[in-house]
Amino acid sequence: MRHFPMPTLKFLGTFVTCAAVALCNVYITKSLAQSARQGQPPADTAVDSSNASPIYGVTIPAGYRDWKLIAVNQLLLAGKGEQLRAQLGNDVAIKAFKEGTVPFPDGSIIAAIHWTRVSSEDNDKVLNGPFPGTQSFVIGSPVNVQFMVKDSKKYAATGGWGFADFKGGKPGDKALHETCFGCHQPAKGHDFVFARYAPAP
């Protein structure tokens, strides 16, 4: 067995330690970069233009139905029926809502799912026993899903937000998307976002 003098052993020990630290740093940096990418909208090179919203190029984010709930609301449209709506957010958006961060950070994505609102005779039959006169309403058919994607540089002309409106998995036309930013102008004081985080009961 070969024996190394003490200075050589110290050098080898220092070298091994430095190499281990360098590898750890590379791993941590790579992991952080991957986490950051998960909160970002898809890169332009990955966008299928036939499934992207006009003007903004926003596509439907994978797994958005598993995002956390921001709030729910009801909309009564004059002459157009009634809707039930739910807003969901990715991890970046939910963190901002919880902490009250405005403007929202880049990478925030908010989804708004809309359904028709219909009465439920089945629920009414059950509820009218203990609660006479109760009227129950539930989700009917799907209407559309909308998205807001925060990228302050890419969408600088529209308050830092990119918009999308999909029905049956297909984006609406350019004329529809031209109205998105104007519609959100009244919410300018909340970074153009109407939704507020619903408190826990």
Whether 155 contacts 161, CB under 8 Å: yes
- Answer with the residue of higher pLDDT: 104 or 32: 104
Residue 200 in any domain: the answer is no
Phi, psi of 58 (to 5 degrees): -85, 135
pLDDT digits (tens, 9 = 90+) for 80-132: 789 999 999 999 999 999 999 999 999 999 999 999 999 999 999 999 889 99
Global pTM exceeds 0.85: no
Reply yes or no on whether the pLDDT at 43 is more than 50: no
Contacts of 102 (CB under 8 A, 6+ apart): 96, 190, 191
Position 17 scores a pLDDT of 44
Share of the chain above pLDDT 70, in %: 76
CATH number of the structural domain spanning residue 149 = 3.50.70.20
Q: Are residues 133 and 159 both part of a single domain?
A: yes
**Weakest-pLDDT range from 12-26, 61-75, 149-163:** 12-26
Is 163 inside a domain boundary?
yes
Same domain flag for 29 and 73: no
Find the helix or strand (DSSP H, E) in which 83 lies: strand 81-89
Judgement on whether residues 80 and 177 belong to the same structural domain of the protein:
yes
Q: Are residues 117 and 97 in the same domain?
A: yes
Distance, CA of 110 to CA of 85 (rounded, Å): 13
Residue 96: other Cβ atoms inside 10 A: 22
> Containing H/E element for 59?
none
Whether the per-residue pLDDT at 1 is higher than 70: the answer is: no
Residue 16 belongs to what domain range? 1-38
149 strand-pairing partners: 109, 162
Q: Are residues 33 and 51 in the same domain?
A: no
Which pLDDT band holds residue 77 (cuts at 50, 70, 90)? confident
Q: How far is 17 from 167, CA to CA, in rounded Å?
A: 56
What's the start-to-end Cα distance of the chain, in Å? 72
Q: How far apart are CA 124 and CA 114, in angstroms?
A: 23
Cβ atoms of 83 and 77 closer than 8 Å = yes
Shared-domain flag, residues 120 and 145? yes
Between 144 and 38, the more confident residue is: 144
Residues 117 and 100 in one domain: yes
- CA nearest neighbour of 39 among 111, 110, 108: 108
